[in-house]
Structure 1
């Protein structure tokens, strides 16, 4: 049977992935050159280049100009509970990770029926989007977006740009305990802006977790949360607390 170029491209990807999984290729090791792979598979260099480009887009390898392509160093796997009553900041500090947070956005959003309903806001109310970029060991790993109603937090326009931990902010306002409604998990791929923020390629999947944060004492919804996690930086523990 004669394999067409696309079939061989897939075969090259599968073969290299198998070598990665079986640890035949070590992290940081240089991959065979385009010429070597083209000769091995008896295909044009362009077919090999396309296969390697896809592996690079998926975040498995990287290239150094004039030197070749290398298998990425092994990622730090971070155990993260996707459910629970503790903030991301507290979880990471308790686990001993070097966490840094940068506030990247505080803006009033246009009316969105579902989002506004989530935070008990009407069409005439203002809802703000607070974004924080999370780093561990100086690597960007997650973007946290919190949607909060100005009706619930009258000073959010002023306070928002300075917030790094929403739970910390709520505690300062007298809220002590938190819970959540159902959490929704989905998969997406990063936009160009998210690629830049997270230092990842377009084909690195992002795990999206959405939920509402609720004050235990009053049962009031404090925020709707949407978190984008780099899928190559975590192992996931979804055990209920």
Structure 2
């Protein structure tokens, strides 16, 4: 019964948030008020509020209560190949910052090696880059690149801001993707810290490959984790 009541509290509070009955900075009803209204123990009301906080809708001020978070700026992002994330953000007028957070050789992974069309003996490097707009973290890009295909990747990885711009400097021109997959995941402890989000904030994961159109060579396999509360997605296919 307590679980059902907890869900009821969450649903009704979410309805008020979505309908904008609550505005930014609005103080939500206290645990005691919710417990009395729904005739439940205070712990049930606390759990409901905690879950809303974990999902990124509200925040706490010690001794003052819980408040509605400011609505995030929704960044329209076209999930189409051929243009880099850096180029898309620049075209939309956003101030983008990229921080390379790691560059490491990965152990053999059948799926990654298969997508990259490489041999088991090849060295594959994983380059992780944190994306920030106006100083706020919004996405993590993981690029998997074969040293056989891009011999300087280990040496250059920490200097790369845009993978597409880097490939163009190496003589590659136009790019496409043979397959793109979209799914939902949740952040690891490390990703929560990087993205400044709670464990229950869903991340939208886009997996794709990057292929040089002229040669058909697979340049990289990419996993991108987007904070779901920071984007709206344009999935229109160009004809």
Deviations 1:99-158 (A, max 9, x none): 111001100000011101211211111000011100112111100010000001111111
C-alpha distance in structure 2 between counterparts of 1:132 and 1:97, whole Å: 17
Q: 1:69-111: per-residue Cα shift (whole Å, max 9, x none)?
A: 0111000000001123100000000000111110011000000
Match of 1:107 in 2: 104
Matched, 1:36 2:17: no
Counterparts of 2:229 and 2:77, CA distance in 1:
13
- Residue 91 of structure 2 aligns with which residue? 94
2:95 & 2:157 partners in 1: Cα distance?
24
Q: TM-score by structure 1 length?
A: 0.96
Alignment coverage as a number of residue pairs: 238
CA distance in structure 1 between the aligned counterparts of 2:220 and 2:3, rounded to whole angstroms: 47
Which of 132, 145, 148 aligns to 1:148? It is: 145
User: In structure 2, which of residues 24, 29, 34 is the aligned counterpart of residue 27 of structure 1?
Assistant: 24
Match for residue 227 of structure 2? Answer: 230
Q: Which runs of 5+ in 1 are unaligned?
A: none
TM-score with structure 2 setting the length = 0.97
Moved over 2 A (4+): none
Indicate the residue corresponding to 1:83 in structure 2: 80
Compute the displacement of 1:55 (Å): 0.6
Using the alignment, how far apart are the partners of 2:90 and 2:166 within structure 1?
Answer: 17
Indicate conservation of the 8 Å contact 1:215/1:222, yes or no: yes
- Residue 236 of structure 1, CA deviation: 0.5
The root-mean-square deviation of aligned C-alpha atoms, in Å, is: 0.9
Q: Matched residue of 2:11: which SS?
A: helix
Unaligned runs of 5+ in 2: none
